[in-house]
Amino acid sequence: MTRPAAGAHPAAALSAKRIRLLDVAIAAGVARSTAGLALRGAPRVSEATRLKVREAADTLGYVPDRLAARLRGGRSGSVGLLVADLTHPFQAQLIAALQMALDEAGMASFLAHAGEAPERQLHMLTRLREQGVDGVVVLPAAGSRPELLDALDLWGLPWVTLLRGFRRGPHVGVDDRAGLALATRHLIAAGHRRIAFLGGAAAHSVTLRRRAGYLQAMREAGLPPQILPCGPEIGAAAEIAAGLFRARPTALACCDDVIAFGAMLGLSRAGRRPGVEVAVTGFGDLPGAAHWVPPLTSLRVAPEALAAATAGLLLDRIAAPEAAPRRVVLAPELVVRASCGSEKGPPAAGATGPRPL
């Protein structure tokens, strides 16, 4: 066997085999149990020892063996994320924030993309189960049935639904109905009487609640509603907005920011100035909303807040799966910009933090 040269890096002698926790303990000059506690952040280990063990682990390139950990403690330290549509900017932004929140909690995450195909979801959940995940976050595809969750219950796998959900079980979402009602009332207060709801072609809990919020505000004001079904694509929204000549609404309350972006593009192509001739609102306040032309009025929902609530709820479910399920809803904040003809608006209704249903 070739010996490492004198003065070689300490990890060189171990490079041909998997670095063990014992190797880290020896390098740090502590017991194996102390090294394990230090890497898990146990409070009874001093900060100095924790730093020494972490430095030794980093130097050696130590990677925890999650399979061994599962065999010892029955848990893998990993969770699954089943996502309806990663191509949608808000879902992508949210999942990125969720993965960071889970990582900070010491949990690895496996990502599965259903592509808005309900029939693929059970297959993807089975794949996640094969990875030995301790729980799953489910952002269901449009058209999903609550029976999807029955399989998880049968497997004894803790779960939390995110954004879109069902009438039962732990859930983290947004007060979509109140948000669209808030945006519609703002348009009404600005003097608009011909306000159309653009979006909702994909019928799931989020779009249904947002449409209901729009209808509620229009009914309160005694105004006739106009529903313009549209999928969450810029091109589809642009085509519909460009053809709005017969009803000629003076305002569009859009189901989300992507649809609002498309609507403003279509209006511009048709020679109607968004923010001047037609007011437009969105939902989600994507990073590009403030930089669109004109800047988009939108309902802000912080992905980081949603992610933190989801990670916390799932970890609680894993720790106590028999506990009564909690449902958490975040209230959106109306951010008024030039797409409504004004950059000043009413204060947001309600708190922006999580509240129980």
pLDDT in tens, 134-163: 999 999 998 999 999 999 999 999 999 999
Rounded CA gap, 311 and 289, in Å? 27
Residue 5: its pLDDT value, please? 47
- Phi and psi at 342, nearest 5°, equal -155, 150
Rounded CA gap, 54 and 31, in Å? 14
Residue 13: its pLDDT value, please? 45
Residue 70: its pLDDT value, please? 52
Residue 17: its pLDDT value, please? 61
pTM of the predicted model as reported, rounded to 2 decimal places: 0.77
Residue 354: its pLDDT value, please? 38
Domains parsed from the chain with CATH numbers: 10-64 (1.10.260.40), 77-173+304-330 (3.40.50.2300), 176-301+333-345 (3.40.50.2300)
Rounded CA gap, 242 and 68, in Å? 59
Q: Within the chain, which residues score under 70 in pLDDT?
A: 1-17, 40, 64-74, 245-247, 342-357
Give CA separation, 155 vs 115, 122, 150, in Å: 24, 12, 9
Residues 282 and 297 sit within 8 Å (Cβ to Cβ): yes
